Amino acid sequence: MFDYGCGHGDDLLNLRKLGIECEGWDPAHRPRTERMPAEVVNLGYVINVIEEPAERVSVLREAWTLTQKLLIVSARLLAQFRDEGGVRYRDGWLSRSGTFQKYYEQHELRDWIDGALDVSSIPAGPGVFYVFRDENLKQSFIASRYRRKTTAPRLRRSELVYEQHKPLLEPLAQFVASRGRLPEEDELAVAPMIRSELRGIRNAFNIIRRVTGAEQWERIREERSQDLLVYLALARFGKRPNFSQLPRDLQFDVRAFFSTYKQACAKADELLFSAGNRRSIEEAVQKAQIGKATPTAIYIHVSALAHLPFILRVYEGCARAYIGAVEGANIIKLYRDEPKVSYLSYPEFESDPHPSLAASLMVDLQTFRVKYREYHDSPNPPILHRKETFLAPDHPMREKFARLTCQEEDQDLYAQPESIGTKEGWRKILDERGLCFSGHRLLRKKMKYLPFSHSPSDS
């Protein structure tokens, strides 16, 4: 990696501790370092401090010439701007200390990068874009964003043939769990041995199906085909690649699930257009088996996103295709009454029984304006209740959160929903009832555990 504009080089020290070979150059602090080509080049928060527009373009293009695989470009967003007494200067601001800062809209930054380099960049996060040299690498990265993680089904019963050939069958099972289809010969290292000892890949997979059950593999196949449709639908936000531009593994996926690329794209377009239909969104929200639904939105933990109806996954994906991944956001809010998506950060979601909102970033899918708000200094931030409703059924902490909700319901703490949505409002209710928390257990202030009707043994 090469850090173009590395400042004093603190990031380089941290990267080297992680075993990453890296170097950096900075005109003020490391001017004697040679600017050298690298697989990954980082142009981090450099262009926004350059006053001359022509020099910004020159710096961007020079960083691109050094890039072998991936260029990372980041800059400050207008949504992050705070008026601290600076003055307007050219197309940016001068701070009180005289330093220049240019703030961008997300779409403005992307258009500038794409225009200067004649590329189609990928939003990695707010104010952060990836520019790939290799189209296959780019499409593999985009597709991986929408492919849920699945492990191979467990064995239901023992079978001698499976146990004898376990070193060959386990890699095959993991491949099918990952891709939802059988591998081509050159996609699996043990394929020649499988062909020799088990009469081919299809026959070997039939052994796996016998000992694990067929229905789980059908579900995995359906999930993988949905993941591929989500990727193809959202690929329209850039320039959807030609079939020949797809990596070979994605070409094999298309043929296995949809026979032809034309059919796959037609289904993806239908899905994308339905995600813009308010009635379709409303129907999907009502059918959703997870998430906390309110009259105006549905809220879900990021870990449960893949469990939503896939029209809602595309709805969220439209925002992510524009803004990228929002660091620190763990709750997603999908609006039911208007095309907006918010990314909410609750840093203590797992440890605090009622975590406070630290920051929110809202994307308007009509205007593509981004609104950012911080609550770190707020004395009365919004808080969460019923945390288990945001999670998928198999989340390891869901049961723990649900037990607390049962206790709170038994104490009738939700009787005034309009009063308990903020930290102070909730504290007032607890004080009136003489209650407090120890971890995720509700206590009287005399420190006696409160029982709840659903599981007295946990009281």
Extract the tokens encoding 364. Answer: 């308007």
The pLDDT of residue 237:
83
Q: Are residues 139 and 208 in the same domain?
A: yes
Distance from C-alpha of 27 to C-alpha of 30, rounded to nearest angstrom: 6
Q: What is the CATH number of the domain that holds 92?
A: 3.40.50.150
Say whether 186 sits in a helix, a strand or coil: helix
Q: Are residues 92 and 35 in the same domain?
A: yes
More confident residue, 164 or 67: 67
Say whether 272 sits in a helix, a strand or coil: helix
pLDDT band at 87 (very low <50, low <70, confident <90, very high): confident
Is residue 158 scored above 70 in pLDDT?
no
Say whether 195 sits in a helix, a strand or coil: helix
Q: Look at residues 226, 338, 333 and name the one whose alpha carbon lies nearest to residue 282.
A: 338
Q: Which helix (H) or strand (E) holds 13?
A: helix 10-17
Q: Are residues 117 and 143 in the same domain?
A: no
Q: Are residues 141 and 268 in the same domain?
A: yes
The pLDDT of residue 82:
72
Residue with token string 């329209």: 236
Q: Mean pLDDT across the stretch 296-316?
A: 94
The pLDDT of residue 84:
65
Q: Which of 85-89, 350-354, 445-449 has the lowest mean pLDDT?
A: 445-449
The pLDDT of residue 449:
55
The pLDDT of residue 244:
93
CB 199 within 8 A of CB 206: no
Q: Are residues 111 and 141 in the same domain?
A: no
Q: Look at residues 216, 202, 198, 218 and name the one whose alpha carbon lies nearest to residue 155.
A: 216
Q: Are residues 9 and 120 in the same domain?
A: yes
The pLDDT of residue 455:
45
Question: What domain range is 164 assigned to?
Answer: 134-273
pLDDT band at 72 (very low <50, low <70, confident <90, very high): very high
The pLDDT of residue 157:
62
CA distances from 246 to 118, 127, 132, 280 (A): 20, 27, 14, 30
The total of structural domains in the chain comes to 4
Say whether 162 sits in a helix, a strand or coil: helix
Question: Could you tell me where the DSSP H helices lie in 275-418?
Answer: 278-287, 310-323, 398-410
Say whether 27 sits in a helix, a strand or coil: coil
Average pLDDT over all residues of the chain? 91
DSSP conformational letter for 47: G
Q: Mean pLDDT across the stretch 12-41?
A: 94
Q: Are residues 234 and 313 in the same domain?
A: no
Q: Are residues 123 and 12 in the same domain?
A: yes
Q: Are residues 341 and 239 in the same domain?
A: no
CB 429 within 8 A of CB 411: no
The pLDDT of residue 391:
96
Q: Mean pLDDT across the stretch 334-341?
A: 95
Spell out the residues 6+ positions from residue 321 whose beta carbon is closer than 8 angstroms to its own. Answer: 123, 234, 237, 238
89 strand-pairing partners: 92
CB 335 within 8 A of CB 306: no
Q: Is 311 left (phi over 0), alpha (psi -120 to 50) or beta?
A: alpha
Boundary residue ending a domain (249, 273, 297) = 273
Q: Are residues 337 and 309 in the same domain?
A: yes
CB 302 within 8 A of CB 313: no
CB 356 within 8 A of CB 317: no
Distance from C-alpha of 308 to C-alpha of 206, rounded to nearest angstrom: 30
pLDDT band at 153 (very low <50, low <70, confident <90, very high): confident
What ranges make up the beta strands (E) of 182-339? 292-293, 297-301, 331-335
What is the sign of the dihedral through the CA atoms of 258, 263, 265 and 267? negative
pLDDT digits (tens, 9 = 90+) for 399-423: 999 999 999 999 999 998 888 999 9
% of the chain with per-residue pLDDT over 70: 95
Boundary residue ending a domain (273, 303, 323) = 273
Q: How long a stretch of residues is the chain?
A: 459
Q: Mean pLDDT across the stretch 213-241?
A: 91
Q: Are residues 302 and 204 in the same domain?
A: no
End-to-end CA distance of the chain: 54
Q: Mean pLDDT across the stretch 128-148?
A: 91
The pLDDT of residue 458:
43
Q: Are residues 40 and 52 in the same domain?
A: yes
Boundary residue ending a domain (371, 387, 403) = 387
The pLDDT of residue 19:
94
pLDDT digits (tens, 9 = 90+) for 346-400: 999 999 999 999 999 999 999 989 999 999 889 999 999 999 999 999 899 999 9
Distance from C-alpha of 70 to C-alpha of 130, rounded to nearest angstrom: 7
pLDDT digits (tens, 9 = 90+) for 240-279: 999 999 999 999 999 999 999 999 999 999 999 999 899 9
Q: Look at residues 299, 363, 353 and name the one whose alpha carbon lies nearest to residue 325.
A: 363
The pLDDT of residue 456:
41
CB 144 within 8 A of CB 228: no
Spell out the residues 6+ positions from residue 449 whose beta carbon is closer than 8 angstroms to its own. Answer: 441, 442, 443, 459
